[in-house]
Amino acid sequence: MKTENHTAVSEFVFEGFSSFHEHQLTLFVVFLSLYVLTLAGNIIIVIIISLDRHLHTPMYFFLSMLSASETMYTLVIIPKMLFDLMGPNKPISLAGCATQMFFFITLAINNCFLLTAMGYDRYVAICNPLRYTIIMNKKVCIQLVWGACIIGLIVAMIQVLSVFRILPPMPRLNFTAITEFTFEGFSIFGWRHRLVLFVFFLLLYLLTLASNAVILTVIRLNRPLHTPMYFFLSVLSLSETCYTVAIIPRMLSSLLIPQKAISLPECATQLFFYLTFGVNNCFLLTAMGYDRYVAICNPLRYTVIMGKRACVYLASGSWSIGLSTAIIQVSSVFSLPFCHVNIISHFFCDIRPLMKIACADTTIKEFITLLISLCVLVLPMVLIFISYVFIVTTILKIASAEGRKKAFATCASHLTVVIVHYGCTSFIYLKPKSQNSLQDRLISVTYTVITPLLNPVVYSLRNKEVKDALLRALGRKSLS
14 φψ region: left (φ > 0), alpha (ψ -120 to 50), beta (else): beta
Cβ atoms of residues 62 and 141 within 8 Å: yes
Q: How far apart are CA 187 and CA 345, in angstroms?
A: 10
**Cα dist. 354→3, 245, 337, 348, 366 in Å?**
21, 21, 10, 10, 11
Residue 333: count other Cβ atoms within 10 Å of its Cβ.
Answer: 25
For 154-202, what is each residue's pLDDT tens digit? 888 888 877 775 444 444 445 556 778 888 878 788 888 889 989 999 9
**Phi, psi angle pair for 11, to nearest 5°:** -155, 160
Q: In this model, does residue 452 exceed pLDDT 80?
A: yes
**Cα dist. 370→158, 160, 162, 286 in Å?**
17, 19, 19, 20
Cβ atoms of residues 18 and 89 within 8 Å: yes
* Lowest mean per-residue pLDDT among 23-32, 264-273, 282-291: 23-32
4 φψ region: left (φ > 0), alpha (ψ -120 to 50), beta (else): beta
How many CA atoms lie less than 13 Å away from 354 in the CB half-sphere? Answer: 25
Write the DSSP string, 16-30.
TTTT-TTTHHHHHHH
* CB burial string 248-267: b at 16+ within 10 A, e below: bebbbebbeebeeebebeeb
**Cα dist. 107→45, 146, 270 in Å?**
18, 12, 32
Sheet containing 261-263: give its strands across: 261-263, 180-183, 343-344
Q: In this model, does residue 310 exceed pLDDT 60?
A: yes
* Interval 449-457 mean pLDDT: 79
Structural domains of the chain, with CATH: 3-173 (1.20.1070.10), 177-473 (1.20.1070.10)
Q: In this model, does residue 123 exceed pLDDT 70?
A: yes
Strands (DSSP E) contained in 326-426 are: 343-344
Q: In this model, does residue 424 exceed pLDDT 80?
A: no
Q: How far apart are CA 198 and CA 187, in angstroms?
A: 12
Distance from first CA to last CA of the chain, Å, rounded?
Answer: 67
Which residue did the predictor score with more confidence, 248 or 468?
248
Cβ atoms of residues 279 and 326 within 8 Å: yes
pTM higher than 0.75 for the full model? Answer: no
For 312-363, what is each residue's pLDDT tens digit? 989 998 998 898 888 888 888 888 888 777 888 888 888 888 888 888 778 8
Q: In this model, does residue 12 exceed pLDDT 50?
A: yes
Q: In this model, does residue 435 exceed pLDDT 60?
A: no
